[in-house]
């Protein structure tokens, strides 16, 4: 089997979906952070991602330990708060992850458009759930 055969045969192996990024809540956190280069405060992140204090803390710890996110203490009206942002490496790794996610979406695309074009004739009258 040539390397080319291998690539074709393993077409649905999405090795680029890095596990630490792919977890659902962390994917939300990273998507929130990628657009905010100035960083996002803990409390804002909690609302944006609809996470509890405990869950957000736990996931941020994982992301910081993985080198994807950095935390900084800042003053907000004299009160210290934690600001989180993507590290330079984190930004690069997340953008790589998104390229692999594009591949999943592209691989599924033919089935999605087939469904759209089949729907009207498959259910004459269009009634039902």
Q: Output 12 or 80, the one with its CB closest to its own copies.
A: 12
Binding site for its own copies (CB under 8 A): 9-15, 17, 19, 22, 24, 27-29, 31-32, 34-35, 47-51, 91, 94-95, 98, 101-102, 104-105, 107-108, 110-112, 115
DSSP string, 87-117: -HHHHHHHHHHHHHHHHHHHHHHHHHHHHHH
CA-to-CA dists, residue 120 to 23, 123, 129, angstroms:
36, 6, 14
Nearest distance, CB of residue 74 and its own copies, angstroms: 21
Nearest distance, CB of residue 51 and its own copies, angstroms: 8
Nearest distance, CB of residue 38 and its own copies, angstroms: 13
Q: Output 47 or 53, the one with its CB closest to its own copies.
A: 47
Q: Output 34 or 41, the one with its CB closest to its own copies.
A: 34
Beta pairing partners, 86: 69
Residue 46, SS3?
Answer: helix
CA–CA gap between residue 61 and residue 44 (Å, rounded): 17
Q: Output 12 or 77, the one with its CB closest to its own copies.
A: 12
- Give percent helix, percent strand, percent coil of the chain, each to the nearest 5: 60, 15, 25
Nearest distance, CB of residue 48 and its own copies, angstroms: 5
């Amino acid at each position: 089997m040539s390397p080319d055969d291998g690539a074709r045969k393993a077409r649905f192996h999405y090795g680029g979906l890095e596990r630490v990024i792919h977890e659902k809540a962390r994917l939300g956190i990273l998507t929130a952070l990628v657009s905010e280069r100035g960083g996002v405060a803990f409390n804002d992140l909690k609302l944006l991602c609809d996470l509890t204090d405990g869950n957000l803390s736990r996931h941020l710890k994982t992301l910081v330990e993985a080198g994807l996110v950095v935390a900084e203490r800042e003053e907000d009206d004299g009160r210290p708060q934690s600001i989180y942002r993507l590290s330079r490496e984190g930004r690069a790794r997340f953008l790589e992850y998104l390229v692999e996610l594009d591949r999943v979406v592209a691989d599924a695309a033919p089935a999605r458009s087939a469904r759209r074009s089949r729907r009207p004739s498959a259910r004459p009258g269009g009634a039902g759930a």
